């Protein structure tokens, strides 16, 4: 019965089909020391595929299999470089435009864009996204349902009004998000299928810093990042006293994630009722790790015992998680993910720019790009 409950739980978790994602992150910054003024990065299924920044001024592949694109389009990387240069120039003007709108002068400021799509290779369903932000907050976004722009700030209303008037351009944006983006995403998934469609299972450890600390279930070395990691009691998922973590990148392209369980109100005799469940989307069986004292690695040794050091709390994963978090934050800043994440939308891939403005501002400082996806 217990196993049936866990399987049912996993089926519920897996109700949403596996998606392939195309994500572009564009970021322009001002007065950030030792940082490029403009950075563009692209991801497919959480794997970085390209990079451009204002220092190198070159679009470059980040995966060997991305060079396959030149078989169909020999000028692909030259075209991407030109798009990067155009975006760089547009974003530089954008910061000045936004500083005017927010009555700002100097200081650190960041303009961001997230642009791209999700493609379900089972149902064929496609979802597109186009979100823009300024200094860590939403500014304006494109609504595919109404084919209109949604202003998140009063200062964005000028942009919304101008863009909503151009019906032909709204139709082109819809085509970019629902046709071009998934078409290129399918190609990229085909090019990199040996990497993107591989499955790597993690090592799972139970960690506890001190007897009063939560017990952490730490999974590291898994791919893809479409996974579930949760605590269960008697086969049913536990929410009370549980603090889930986020996936962090490892240096080898795999991921790590932790989930913490507070056992301070749980009688010791009931510990054996708990287990940590790891499941990769699409995999047949979950990895179930029972909560047994002798398996917990602590500062005092395995299971709280004293001491040969074999089972001591592993500083490697902890340091790796900290460094991974630092790397992730850097990627998110560079990639333009410092928006407040919406519950119903992920952060998606971006493109070149060319912004919209008020009558007092130069037409070259449009806050929204009118060009196509960076993937063509």
55's CB contacts (< 8 A; 6+ apart) are 36
Chain segment 17-54, per-residue pLDDT in tens: 568 999 999 999 999 988 999 999 999 998 999 999 99
> In CATH, what number is assigned to the domain containing residue 153?
3.30.500.10
Q: Are residues 150 and 286 in the same domain?
A: no
pLDDT of res. 359:
32
Structure confidence at residue 106 (pLDDT): 85
Which parts of the chain have pLDDT scores under 50?
1-16, 305-310, 313, 315, 317-366, 368-376
Pairing mode, strands 148-151 and 137-143: antiparallel
Q: What is the pLDDT of residue 341?
A: 41
According to the model, what pLDDT value does residue 288 have?
A: 96
Number of domains into which the chain is organized: 2
Task: Match 């939560």 to its residue by tokens.
Answer: 214
State which residues form the domain around 311. Answer: 199-328
pLDDT, residue 300, reads: 62
- Report pLDDT for 332: 47
The answer to whether residues 123 and 20 belong to one domain is yes
Residues 210 and 161 in one domain: no
- Judge if 190 and 208 occupy the same domain: no
pLDDT score for 368: 47
Per-residue pLDDT, 312:
52
Whether 354 and 315 map to the same domain: the answer is no
b or e along 311-344 (b: 16 or more beta carbons within 10 Å of the residue's beta carbon)? Answer: bebeeebeebbeebeeebeebbbbbbbbbeeeee
Query: Considering the domain boundaries, does residue 1 fall inside one?
Result: no
pLDDT of residue 365: 37
Same domain, yes or no: 204 and 188: no
Q: Are residues 178 and 253 in the same domain?
A: no
* 4 found inside a domain: no
């Amino acid at each position: 019965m217990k196993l049936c409950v866990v399987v049912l739980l996993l089926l519920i978790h897996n109700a949403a089909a596996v998606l392939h994602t195309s994500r572009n992150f564009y970021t322009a910054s001002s007065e950030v020391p030792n940082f490029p003024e403009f950075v563009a990065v692209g991801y497919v299924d959480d794997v970085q595929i390209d990079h451009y920044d204002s220092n190198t001024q070159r679009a470059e592949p980040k995966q060997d299999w991305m060079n396959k694109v030149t078989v169909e389009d020999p000028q692909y990387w030259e075209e991407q470089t030109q798009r990067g240069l155009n975006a760089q120039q547009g974003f530089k003007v954008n910061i000045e435009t936004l500083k005017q709108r927010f009555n700002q002068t100097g200081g650190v400021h960041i303009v961001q864009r997230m642009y791209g799509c999700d493609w379900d290779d089972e149902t064929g369903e496609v979802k597109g996204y186009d979100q823009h932000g300024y200094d860590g907050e939403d500014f304006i976004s494109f609504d595919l349902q109404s084919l209109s722009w949604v202003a998140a700030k009063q200062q964005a209303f000028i942009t919304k009004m101008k863009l909503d008037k151009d019906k032909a351009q709204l139709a082109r944006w819809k085509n970019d998000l629902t046709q071009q983006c998934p078409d290129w995403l399918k190609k990229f998934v085909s090019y990199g299928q040996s990497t993107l469609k591989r499955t790597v299972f993690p090592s799972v450890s139970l960690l506890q810093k001190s007897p009063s600390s939560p017990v952490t279930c730490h999974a590291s070395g898994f791919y893809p990042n479409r996974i579930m990691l949760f605590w269960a009691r008697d086969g049913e998922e536990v929410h009370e006293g549980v603090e889930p973590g986020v996936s962090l990148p490892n240096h080898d392209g795999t991921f790590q994630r932790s989930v913490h369980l507070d056992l301070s109100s749980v009688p010791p005799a009931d510990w054996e009722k708990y287990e940590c469940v790891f499941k990769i989307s699409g995999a047949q069986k979950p990895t179930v790790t029972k909560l047994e004292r002798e398996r917990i690695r602590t500062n005092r040794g395995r299971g709280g015992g004293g001491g040969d050091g074999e089972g001591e709390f592993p500083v490697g994963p902890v340091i790796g998680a900290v460094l991974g978090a630092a790397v992730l934050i850097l990627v998110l800043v560079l990639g333009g993910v410092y928006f407040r994440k919406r519950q119903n939308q992920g952060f998606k891939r971006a493109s070149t720019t060319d912004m919209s403005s008020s009558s007092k501002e130069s037409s070259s400082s449009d806050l929204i790009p009118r060009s196509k996806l960076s993937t063509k």
